[in-house]
Amino acid sequence: MCAVSLPPSALDVPTVRDFPASLREEGRRTADAAQAALAGRFARAEVQVPEGEAREVILSAAAEWPADLIVMGARRPDAVAGFLLGSVSINVARHARCSVLIVKGDTGRSRSALVALDGSEHAQAAAAFLARMPLDPTFAVSLVGVVEPVRYPATTPRFASGWSGTPWGRSPRSVGTRSSGRSRRRPRRSPAA
């Protein structure tokens, strides 16, 4: 599938009118080339070239299929487009109901993979998916389970975070004194008569 976004144009000149058609043709050529590459490996490889916002079209097509896996490439948008619109692959990964595999660069040279484990069923499924892939036996796998530090809220009682001592983290001698040893308290003024 190749999604094509066509911005509306107020200009009604032949070059501008032909632009959407050229985008559709390029999208079709790209999809047909991918179909030819996949035809020898898979029994079914359909081609669709719908128009619309790429992330919405991809999510909709995956739901209608229904797809068990979305495979897509990562393309870095320019800074302004990335800030305003976000990455299509990130949006698809966030909102898809199925697994999403985002490919970055040439995977033909892949010799290793990192599997992030968090104890969830999804992490275990990711490791199982990698195990089923037809990879070279010399392919190296690193399994990483991260233990994040416990963060206590600012209002946590001191005893809960392992604190011992007096209020404000000072020793009993330093409470109410300055480093020079003088008292922090100002002398009281006597009421004026």
Mean pLDDT within 126-139: 89
What residue type is 126 in one-letter code? A
Residue 15 reports pLDDT greater than 80? no
Mean pLDDT within 150-176: 60
Q: Are 24 and 13 in contact (CB under 8 A)?
A: no
DSSP states along 89-123:
HHHHHHH-SSEEEEE-S-GGG--EEEEEE-SSHHH
Distances, alpha carbon 6 to alpha carbons 2, 11, 28, 29, 147, in Å: 13, 14, 14, 17, 45
> Please, which residues have CB within 8 angstroms of residue 64's CB and are 6 or more apart in sequence?
none
Mean pLDDT within 31-60: 89
Cβ neighbours around 96 below 10 Å, total: 18
Between residues 117 and 40, which one has the greater pLDDT?
117
Residue 183 reports pLDDT greater than 70? no
pLDDT tens per residue across span 78-124: 666 555 556 888 899 999 999 999 888 777 778 899 989 888 899 99
Please state, in angstroms and rounded to a whole number, the distance separating the CA atoms of residues 107 and 116: 19
Mean pLDDT within 26-31: 90
Which DSSP category does 176 fall into?
T
pTM of the model: 0.62
Instruction: Kindly state the tokens that stand for 12.
Output: 């009604």
Hey, where are the domains in the chain?
1-52, 55-105, 112-147
The rounded mean pLDDT for the chain is 78
In angstroms and rounded to an integer, the radius of gyration of the C-alpha atoms of the chain is 30
Under DSSP, is residue 30 helix (H, G, I), strand (E, B) or coil? helix
